[in-house]
Every structure is written in C-alpha cells, then in structure tokens.
Amino acid sequence: MDAQSIVTIIQEKLGSHLQASRLKVKNYHAGIIRLHLWISIDREAFHFTVNTLKSLGRLHLSTAMAYKEYEDRIELIYPFALKMDDAHYSEFMIIASVDIPHNDLTIRTITDIVPGALFMEREVMEMLGIVIEDIPDSRRLFTPSSLQDGYFPLRNGKNKEDSK
Amino acid sequence: MVYYYRCYNVIDNNRGTYVKKINYKHLKRSLWAYHMNTGSCNACDIEILATLMPRYDAERFGIKLVGSPRHADVLLVTGTVTEKIKDKILQVYQQVPKPKLVMIIGSCGATKGVFHESYAMAGPLDTLLPVDVYVPGCPPRPEAIIYGVAKAWEKLEEL
Amino acid sequence: MKSDIVYPLNIGPVHPAFKEPIKFTFRIEGEQVAGVDIDFGYTHRGIEKIALERNYIQIIYLLERVCGICSFSHPLAYCLAIEDVAEIQVPDRARYIRTIIGELERLHSHLLWTGIAAHEIGFDTLFMYTWNIREKVLDCLEEFTGNRINYGMLTIGGVRRDITPENSETITRMLEYYMELYDRASEILLDDLTLRARTEGIGILSREQAEMFCAVGPTARGSGLLKDVRIDYPVNAYYDIPWLNPISPRDIGKEPIGDVYDRMAVRVLEIKQSLNVIQFCMENLPEGDINSGEGAVKIINKLKKLEGEGIGRYEAPRGEVCHYVILDNQEHPIQLKVKAPTYSNGFTWIPMLTNIEIADIPIVIASIDPCVACADRMTFIRKDGAKERYSWDYLHQKSIQKYKRSANQ
C-alpha cells in the first residue's frame, strides 16, 4: 500500500474531525518506505479517532505521551504505530496531537480502547496535571505520595497561573 | 567457621550495656557480600554477577553473594541513591551485623556521575553512610571489582 | 490449592529474587495468587529532565546509562530520531556496523536472560554455563568498541569506530564458537524435562491480551503476536536481509499459548537468528565512510538551527524502544520522551501472575526479562525541601489494613 492511499483512507474515515495533517515519507530501496503521519484532532473527537484507527488494523501505542506547552494550552501527543496488513515493513506511525486549554485540563481516557495506555495516562496525570476522565486507576505511578498536591513536575512554567 | 565465631562478637550498642572491642582480625578472606541496587542502570549489577561467574570466579577467594543482609560482611552498593530508595538503604545498612564494610561499585554511587544535576537524587552514598572502598568506573570491570575487594581485606587487616 | 484465607505478600523493593528494586504486593489465597499490584519508581533518575540541559552529543552518552544491558538500543533510537528530524543520511557501512553491534548486544542480553531464568528456577549449573559462554561475546564487543558494557559507539549520522580486518577474524571465531555450542545449549533449554516442567503452562498471556496491553518484543512474540520493529519498520540494515522473519514458537513446531516456555523458546531461537544476521552483515559489509566526518561542534551547530519533531524506533533485546524528540532552535531538545520495553510489558505481569502458585512467582516475573532501570527513567522534582517519609513497617501495616478491608468486604 502506498503512502497516499493510506492518507486518503484516514482522511475519509475521520472526515471533518481532522484539523490538519502532515505527511513525511522516506523512501528506501525496493519500495520500502518509512511513513510518519502527523494529525491534529479536536478534543471531543479524539476518542472516536482512536476507535477508528483501531478498526483499521493492529494499533499499538508506541511511546509515552509527549507534550508541548504553550501559554494558553497544552498539546498532548500520542504516537501510535498502525499496521494494516501482514506484509513486512508496512507499519507506519500516526502521531495524533490534541490541544487541551489550560482552563479546562481534561481529556477522556483511551484505556477502554487501548488498555495498554494506562501507565502512560497515569504518568500524564501526575506529571502534567491533566485530568483523565474515567481512568480505571488514578494512583500515582512514579512520584512518591509525599509530593504536594497541585504541583506538577514537568510543566515548564509558561502558563502564568503556574508561576504564582 | 570464621563467620560463626564472629557472631559472638557482635555487640548491639543500642540495647546492650556490655561493650567489648570487636576483633576485626577474625574477619579475613572469606567475605560474604550483599548486593543492593539503589537506582543503578544494571551495568554494575551484571558486572558484579560476571565477577562471580566461571571466567573470573571470585568464589575461589570465598567471596559469595548472600540473599540476606543479616548474613553479610560487605554491603555492595550500586547506583546513585534515589529519593525513593533512601530509607531502604539505611534500613539494610542497619541490618548488616558488625563489623561491616560498605563498598560502592561504579562512579555514580560515589559522585552521582552522569546524573549529577538530577533532583531525584538523595546521594551520593558517602553523605549517608560511612563508605570504605570506592570502585570507580562506568561500569567497573570485574578485575576492578576483585581489586576493590582485595583493598577491603587490606583495610580490615589494618583495623 | 485455594483456601478462604486471604493474605497479602509483599515482595520487594529490595529482594534477592530481583536484581533491581521493584515492589510487588500480592494477594494470596492459600497457595495461589489472586491479585497483584506493582509499585515502580525506585530507580527514578530523572533522565528525561537532565537531557534537557545537555547538548545533542552529550545526550547520547547520557542515554547509554538508561539501562546497562540495552546500552546500545537507547542511544540508537535517539540518533534515529535526530536523523529523522534533520534528514541526515547514514552511510551504508555505518548502517551495517550498527546492525552488527545491535545483534551482538541482543546475543549477550539473551544469554544473560537465559542464565537468570535458570537461576530463578534453581538450575544454577545452567546459570554458570550460559554466563560463562556469554563472556565470549563481551570479549568481542570489547575488541570492537573498547568497553564491555557501555560502548560509546554511536554518533549522530553514523558510528565512531570502524570494523577492521582483525576484528572480522575475531567475529568469525566467535560465530564458529557459538554455532558449535548452539545445538547443545538449545537441547538443554528446550528439551530438558525439568525445565519444561517448571516453565510449561504457567504465566500465560494470550494473544488477545498481548495485543490489548501493547506488549512488545519476545513477550509479544511468545504469545504468537508477530511484532518486531526490525521487520515491521525499516531500521538499520535489516531491510537488506531477505530471509528475516519474526520468530515465533511455531518455528519449533509448537503452537504458541504464551507461557514461560514459549517466551524462552523465542529467545533461544533469536540467539540463532542473531548469529545469522551477524554473519550476513559481515559477508555483505559495504565499503565507505562510517560517519559524515563532521565534528561534534559542527553537528550541534547544524541542529541548533532546526525545528521539528522526530521519532526513532528500534527493537532492543527486550522489545521496542521508542524515542520522541522535539527540537526548537536550541542547543538542546525541548523535549525527549523515552519509552522502554518494560514500560509496555509491565502491564502484562497482571494477567500472567494471576492464578499461579507462589513458587512460580520469580520465574514468571523474570520471564518478560524486566529491566526496571529502563522503565523508571522518568523524573520527579521536589518544589521544596519538605519530605514526608513512611517507614517500611508503616507501609506494611497500611497494606495489611488495606487487604483486611478488602477481605472483609
């Protein structure tokens, strides 16, 4: 399957929920490609998006969630690896990003679709202070229980309320 | 038999009133070690195991890893001491019977090494416990670990 | 045997069965495990936070210290991520050398695991035997790279040391040595009755569970899930090898059920696969440069002017390593995310450990080849000096109370 047809399938499935997408393809010899697709999604449509991606093939949450922090919002990045057929070298990365405004730091859990995401969501909760709704286990993962409430280690302080 | 004899010389300074000088000369040669990982990256740990394996065979000197700190003469500590494990290392140190030696395996236990800026560190270890032998290296080679144990013998003979 | 009495069993964080600090709290019914809770974080070193204060070249050497056993995989994934952002082309010879060193690392890691697994079930002769033959591959790595564990072999855009003709003689001798031993070793590991009795049918992870919990590496392949980054995604020189396939227990004619034996079989077969890959790479090693020839300062200056996001994936001996880097016109990345294999596989312990006997706990825990140092790479910072401390006894009491409560309900 070539790069463009994969993008077309995903665009069709997601429809208007897809805010922006960027494709990066690297060609190796003999038709072997490495494909990275960045997509940004509405927060409300994110759960639907993950469900859709899962229906396309074997979905694997590849790395711990990265994030970018701005003055008014946090951009949460979920890198997925999706494999749609059994051929070798056919796995490609879909890097989905969601904007979460600082005044409402919540997102719905995806552990009901990808149960393996639980550790990553717990990490996001304790490190960034984003509240994951309906998470089955909301305890801390790495930080000790003595860490004070309302303090989130990995925020970079760009939001004005944090620095108060 | 050295170990058996030594047991009678252990004095609990906290509870007992009976104080007797410990004869360190009885603690020679056959050192039993308890290994504790306090946040190391595994490299030192596998080199300690490699030291005990047939190639280097430290057991011919009577050096042996034991499963409980209460059986140990030497506490081998690898890794920088992280905040979360600080209490545990202090407790394990309390459990090792006297006379005891503490050896740091690896650079990061002695100086925090490559992790020196990290806020998650409670170390280096020598700010928490009296340390007798430092084995630097990232990780130290098995020869260096055996040399470190030999240094510990020398230290015991001087005491 | 099941019984009505439910009691908690704490193992760890400091316990001779694990070489690393991790804490398991089991809920035991009679002799069987009814529930398990895992506590991570004892080897937290804050690597991701430190990385933001180092420059691009220093990070390579920092990431070698994420894990002493995968000390090639983590910096490689990082280099691949940076090369992805900066669109740096790696010379062919460097690709092959990276593959060879990576496979040597897999060889030593799998031999190490075999020894540990044998030790956990009380077969110390095999432990000594495998760790003895493992010294040969460490000698080989030492000759290539100068060190037994942390190799310092990688740089952005290539490798730092070349493989000379003398080195290739060493590698040929090493391959012959292992090929001779392989049949005997695989016979002990796969056909020995005692080993089979201790490993078959315990710690089962079904294919669906493996897929659900995003299991990676031999843990996933042991359950019949054919997931291998080397084959799913083009890295290094693997896509030049026509016969490379993901290993599964089907290769020895056994339908995978995902027990400890299957995971062991996968690792034993991967030893053979690694030997074949090294042989292929040595035979087809192309001539040419091993890096771009630029110094560290030049590389940093180039990366300083870049903006973007990159992703690097590699199959470490334990499973997929994935690094996500964000660059923003600075001397250091503004974000580096590290995902280690145990971080993904940690979750699979829960289905594996449920309904097994207490005596099987060590081998089942060891069967995913845990590397706690990798999983705990994350950071925490204290805002003030205030520290609240719980003693071990207090925690133990707490956990007893908790389980008394849950038992009463």
The count of domains in chain B is: 1
**Contact between C50 and B118 using a beta-carbon 8 Å cutoff:** yes
- State which residues form the domain around B62: 2-158
Question: Which residue type occupies A51?
Answer: N
- In chain B, the residue whose alpha carbon lies closest to the alpha carbon of C134 is B50
- For residue C183 the two structure tokens come to 């049949």
Asked whether the predicted pLDDT for residue A27 surpasses 80, the reply is no
Question: Could you read off the pLDDT of B70-120 as tens digits, one per residue?
Answer: 888 889 998 888 877 888 888 889 888 877 889 999 888 888 888 888 777
Rounded to an integer, the average pLDDT of A45-72 is: 82
CA distance C321 to chain B (A): 16
Q: Which of C44, C324, C390 sits opposite A142 (nearest CB)?
A: C44
Domain assignment of residue A123, yes or no: yes
Residues with Cβ within 8 Å of B80's Cβ and at least 6 positions away in sequence, in order, are: B38, B39, B40, B108, B109, B112, B113, B115, B118, B121, B123, B124, C45
First to last CA, chain B: 21
**Contact between C43 and B39 using a beta-carbon 8 Å cutoff:** yes
Query: What torsion do the CA atoms of B39, B43, B46, B51 make, to the nearest 10 degrees?
Result: -110
Question: Could you read off the pLDDT of B4-33 as tens digits, one per residue?
Answer: 333 334 444 444 434 445 555 555 667 888
Q: What are the structural domains, with CATH classification, of chain C?
A: 6-43+344-408 (3.30.390), 47-340 (1.10.645.10)
For residue B38, the chain C residues in CB contact (below 8 A) are: 21, 43
From the list C139, C62, C43, C3, the residue with the least C-alpha distance to C333 is C62
Domain assignment of residue A163, yes or no: no
Domain assignment of residue A31, yes or no: yes
Helix, strand, or coil (residue C14): coil
Q: Which of B39, B55, B87 sits opposite C135 (nearest CB)?
A: B55
Q: How far is CA C398 from CA C25, C34, C395, C401, C403, in A?
A: 12, 19, 5, 5, 9
Q: Which of B50, B92, B119 sits opposite C382 (nearest CB)?
A: B119
The count of domains in chain A is: 1
**Contact between A28 and C239 using a beta-carbon 8 Å cutoff:** yes
- For residue B62 the two structure tokens come to 């009577």
Helix, strand, or coil (residue B95): helix
Question: What distance in Å separates the CA atoms of residue C340 and residue B158, rounded to the nearest whole number?
Answer: 47
Task: Please name the chains neighbouring B, where neighbouring means 3+ C-beta pairs under 8 angstroms.
Answer: C
- In chain B, the residue whose alpha carbon lies closest to the alpha carbon of C68 is B43
**Contact between B82 and C43 using a beta-carbon 8 Å cutoff:** yes
Query: In angstroms, how far is CA C217 from the centroid of its own chain?
Result: 8
Question: What distance in Å separates the CA atoms of residue A37 and residue A22, rounded to the nearest whole number?
Answer: 6
Question: Could you read off the pLDDT of B120-131 as tens digits, one per residue?
Answer: 777 788 888 889
CA distance C322 to chain A (A): 6
**Contact between C239 and A32 using a beta-carbon 8 Å cutoff:** yes
Per-residue pLDDT for chain C (409 aa), expressed as one digit of tens each? 555 678 888 777 777 667 777 888 888 887 788 888 887 777 777 788 888 888 899 999 999 888 888 889 999 999 999 998 988 888 999 999 999 999 999 999 999 999 888 888 888 888 888 999 999 999 999 988 888 888 888 999 889 989 888 888 999 999 999 999 998 888 888 888 888 888 888 888 888 888 888 888 898 998 988 888 888 888 888 988 889 888 888 888 888 888 899 999 999 999 999 999 999 999 999 998 888 888 889 989 989 998 988 899 999 998 888 899 999 888 888 888 888 888 888 888 888 888 888 888 888 888 887 777 666 654 333 333 333 333 334 434 444 454 455 444 4
Which spans in chain B are helix H? Answer: 2-7, 43-52, 86-95, 107-111, 142-158
Is the CB of residue B107 less than 8 Å away from at least one CB of chain C? no
CATH of the domain at B19: 3.40.50.12280
Which spans in C16-91 are helix H? Answer: 47-51, 56-64, 73-86
Residue whose tokens read 């080849």 = C369
- Of A148 and C193, more confident: C193
Cβ atoms of C333 and C324 closer than 8 Å: no
The two beta strands, C23-29 and C6-11, are: antiparallel
Question: What distance in Å separates the CA atoms of residue A145 and residue C41, rounded to the nearest whole number?
Answer: 11
Is the CB of residue C396 less than 8 Å away from at least one CB of chain B? no
ipTM for this model: 0.88
- In chain C, the residue whose alpha carbon lies closest to the alpha carbon of B123 is C45
DSSP state of B129: S
Residues with Cβ within 8 Å of C17's Cβ and at least 6 positions away in sequence, in order, are: C11, C120, C361, C362, C365
- CA-atom Rg of chain C in angstroms: 22
Residue A158 — pLDDT band, cuts 50, 70, 90? low
For residue C232, the chain A residues in CB contact (below 8 A) are: 81, 83, 88-91
Is the CB of residue B138 less than 8 Å away from at least one CB of chain C? yes
- For residue B8 the two structure tokens come to 């009678």
Cβ atoms of A6 and A36 closer than 8 Å: no
Cβ atoms of B158 and B23 closer than 8 Å: no
From the list C74, C40, C342, C72, the residue with the least C-alpha distance to C215 is C342
What was the pLDDT predicted at C399?
41
- Helix, strand, coil shares of chain B, percent, nearest 5, are 40, 15, 45
Cβ atoms of B38 and B81 closer than 8 Å: yes
CATH of the domain at A91: 3.30.460.80
Residue A35 — pLDDT band, cuts 50, 70, 90? confident
Residues with Cβ within 8 Å of C187's Cβ and at least 6 positions away in sequence, in order, are: none
Question: What distance in Å separates the CA atoms of residue C251 and residue C234, rounded to the nearest whole number?
Answer: 23
For residue C53, the chain A residues in CB contact (below 8 A) are: none
- Whether the link from the prior residue into B54 is cis, omega within 30° of 0, is no
Question: Could you read off the pLDDT of B26-70 as tens digits, one per residue?
Answer: 556 678 888 888 888 888 888 998 888 888 888 888 888 888 888
The two beta strands, A66-69 and A73-83, are: antiparallel
